[in-house]
A = this chain, B = another copy of it.
């Protein structure tokens, strides 16, 4: 027995809504909404606690749903067909938005190829309610890729939770659909929606006892809170291994660093698998660690003020408190051997050569509590793999949108906050993108040591599949600019030094200077790939 994408995804949509606490649906019939309406009928038939109302006038339907939602303090769904029908929900959406009543508008829509081409009942429906909706999303219910199904499950549960927390509000789910619009009714293929539990504490966070004995903490990027002491004590007392991202502000002698390389080297075998991972902070620098958790199906809870943000769609429980509050209230007794196994990973020998030498030596020569800004791309990955952070935890990067732009300026802004010298680790291509930013270093004599790893182009692309497209690679991805870093220094009146040997870094950084300084480390992109392959004695993917 099979199920087609339209039927499967629509069922996932409706079941995710139902699992998120939606028990009332108000439908205004039409043609485009046919598959959703029919499967909603099936859902209501099979679940006694689902109430289905049909209201032919969408304006009235909007307010009717509002009345239910307002009285029960529960989210209520509106389902409408494409065209002006959807705009009829605007008055009720306005009232709901201002008075914080959770309304969910499912707006079925014409597919992309009928937009802006004179097709009947077709208007730009995406985010049509603007600021009247707190959240808005578009799903392609006829998309056959399994990621779409999982995305629907995850996003619906996440969005309904978001409109249910203060300030409560409304949301729109826009559903472009192609003909044929008839779903498979009474199809018996089971629909398994992974539940995503959201805990939100407006006042006290209670004591929480964990049954698991192989708990592991994954401390992700964190710029908002200093919880390293609490974490360190908690982990030591309870024997909790901690994988600490270079941006976590939580690395210490007992935290595991360089998880990406350890996983890549195949060192994290079955014996290391936890029975629960507690994730703090934002998306880790290591993509591989998230893949590992998902592939091995290891349960993950996300504990953070912004809990529930997980593009890997694997977090099963989101607890919206700060790590510090969580750690004070959680009780766990972990297996000591499991803890020791993980601790030993820090003793794996590393062979550090080439570009990786810079963060490696920096780790040793950096001043206590010195601020370091790290560019995206290769720089942050190398830092994550080799920088232990034993001397300083003040590591910054732009990991929101992960742009190559603005890095010089952001680092200069960081350096302007203290009289102690700061350090920037950056590649030549990233430096070029914000070369103008150096003017601030000159104008304000900002105390920043800019270490440029100059491999004449975009080093990270050599690790990606396109590196084998020989004909186009250098032009389109390698993009060598053959920058003369000393000339850049000259233009902005900034002192320039070239590192002949990686160990010169200590001498250079301890040489006094006023304002900024450009420190060049020349590297080679092809050699860099080999260096990384030999880092832990294995070949990269």
Contact = CB atoms under 8 A, between A and B. Distances in A.
A406 interface: yes
A374 interface: no
A114 interface: no
B413 A65 contact: yes
A67 B411 contact: yes
A440 B60 contact: yes
A408 interface: yes
A383 interface: no
Interface string A51-81: 1011111011111111111111100000000
* Copies of chain A in the complex: 2
Nearest to A99: B400
Nearest to A225: B73
B439 A400 contact: no
B203 A64 contact: no
A166 to B, nearest CB: 5
A238 interface: no
Query: Which of the listed residues A65, A69, A401 has the most CB atoms from chain B within 10 Å of its own CB?
Result: A401
Interface string A448-476: 00000000000000000000000000000
A412 interface: yes
Contacts of A417: 67-68, 71-72
Nearest to A168: B224
B224 A406 contact: no
Interface string A162-194: 000011100000000000000000000000000
Contacts of A167: 305-306
A70 B409 contact: no
Interface string A400-422: 11010111111111111110000
A292 interface: no
Nearest to A76: B413
Given A63-B409, A305-B166, A306-B100, A223 B403 contact: no
A324 to B, nearest CB: 9
Nearest to A72: B417
Interface in A8-44: none
B401 A439 contact: no
B403 A95 contact: yes
The contact size tier of chain A is 35 or more
A282 interface: yes
Contact of A414 (B55, B70, B201, B399): B70
A204 interface: yes
Contacts of A405: 59, 63, 91
A204 to B, nearest CB: 6
B92 A406 contact: yes
A373 interface: yes
Nearest to A405: B91
B436 A400 contact: no
Nearest to A91: B405
Given A223-B73, A440-B53, A410 B67 contact: yes
A162 to B, nearest CB: 10
A371 to B, nearest CB: 7
A406 B60 contact: yes
Contact of A66 (B60, B168, B204, B398): B398
Nearest to A68: B413
A202 interface: yes
A477 to B, nearest CB: 21
Interface string A412-443: 11111110000000000000001011011001
Interface of A: 51, 53-57, 59-73, 91-92, 94-101, 166-168, 201-205, 223-224, 282, 305-306, 321-322, 325, 371, 373, 396, 398-401, 403, 405-418, 434, 436-437, 439-440, 443-444
Given A53-B416, A67-B410, A98-B401, 7 more contacts: A63-B408, A64-B409, A70-B414, A72-B417, A167-B305, A203-B203, A204-B204
Interface pairs A-B: 10 shortest CB-CB: A67-B413, A99-B400, A63-B406, A98-B400, A63-B409, A67-B410, A60-B437, A60-B409, A64-B413, A67-B414
11 contacts: A56-B439, A60-B408, A62-B406, A63-B413, A66-B409, A67-B396, A67-B414, A71-B396, A71-B414, A92-B406, A204-B204
